[in-house]
Copies of this chain bind each other. A is one copy, B any other.
């Protein structure tokens, strides 16, 4: 590559700056990543992605979650091609919607029914609205710093948001029973529901798995107050278990919001719920032009089938643990303090004494230059396409990255 010439990524960024505000928007804006990360991509195959300059990476972001079986998984592709040959966006749903709802009801213990939409934000917003509709009350308790979407009631960047958009939100601290009890107390007779992420996965912090005592107390408080317990499983859903993430701590929510990995990258979201919310749900008007689209639903059925057949969560746990063990050994060897948090399938790696993330950023850039796509602040994602060879490849890159870090 001639270093004098612009890269394809630089050329596209220049074109994009003219026709897209800031050149890019949202969570996939490369401005949120260290210099050197590409903005534009060309293709994907299994757990590998290629940027527009032809550089290949073993990918540990998986499209920030959606890619759970790997890009272009043959069974998903086959289901998609079959459905495309029939029809996608018609005047109503196809049988695929019923099949998918039946599949979720069978897989997820709390799920007596399902509704479908397109974005994680659609699903969390439907859950909150449904909690209010079912209870006739208004207050929603949400954890401070938790991400539940990017519209005014929940966006972490409240530009253009009015005070009224959040008038009925009360904050608690994830895993802090006292703070949850205080928030319930503050809601008084007006408690509609409690929303909680599958685990604490706030941007730039060590992750925390749910304390089972906290999850049980949340369930108990909702039962006592006849309020709705909402699990935001958008980010974690189907990676830790196929049965809803709090099934692992023995707690069933009343409603769950799903999206990201549900259809291996096809645009789909879902809400599942218990029977006692069925009537309220059938009265709710939630809809979108493409929500009955059959192709993403066919992709979802194929994705869930395959995840079940191969025990996807277990595979991702194994590869995640292999990677975690390797990183831990390399960090110890290099004498670098590293904190690995969250479930192995969705790890966050943060460095000690690194308030500005400069160490983590350097580490990730070194790995990137060696063909490994990590994230310095956000949790990462494994797919079932990651093999031992991919982890070995990645650990060679991280070993060199630790060495570069040690060299200062």
Residues of A within 8 A of B (CB): 12, 15-16, 18-22, 24-28, 30, 38-44, 49, 52, 59, 61, 63-67, 71-72, 77, 80, 84, 86-95, 97-98, 101-102, 104-105, 112-115, 117-122, 125, 128-134, 138, 150-153, 155-157, 159-162, 164-165, 167-168, 234, 259-260, 265-267, 273, 278-293, 296, 373
Q: Give how many copies assemble into the complex.
A: 2
Q: When A20-B101, A129-B152 are in contact, do A66 and B157 touch as well, CB less than 8 Å? A: no
- State in angstroms the CA–CA spacing of A138 and B20 once bound together: 25
The residue on B at minimum CB distance from A121 is B288
- State in angstroms the CA–CA spacing of A40 and B119 once bound together: 23
Is there contact, CB below 8 Å, between B167 and A164?
A: yes
- State in angstroms the CA–CA spacing of A93 and B131 once bound together: 35
A292 contact from B28, B42, B157, B168, Cβ within 8 A: B28
The residue on B at minimum CB distance from A262 is B289
Is there contact, CB below 8 Å, between B133 and A290?
A: no
Is there contact, CB below 8 Å, between B87 and A162?
A: no
- State in angstroms the CA–CA spacing of A131 and B93 once bound together: 35
Is there contact, CB below 8 Å, between B290 and A266?
A: yes
Q: When A157-B285, A284-B159, A287-B27 are in contact, do A86 and B16 touch as well, CB less than 8 Å? A: no
A49 contact from B25, B91, B125, B165, Cβ within 8 A: B91
Is there contact, CB below 8 Å, between B289 and A89?
A: no
Residues of B within 8 A of A373 (CB): 91
Is there contact, CB below 8 Å, between B87 and A43?
A: yes
- State in angstroms the CA–CA spacing of A291 and B118 once bound together: 10
Within the complex, what minimum Cβ distance (angstroms) separates A202 from chain B? 15
Excluding A19-B98, A24-B92, A40-B95, 5 further A-B contacts by CB distance (< 8 Å) are A40-B98, A43-B90, A77-B84, A119-B119, A266-B290
Within the complex, what minimum Cβ distance (angstroms) separates A38 from chain B? 7
Q: When A27-B287, A293-B267 are in contact, do A282 and B22 touch as well, CB less than 8 Å? A: yes
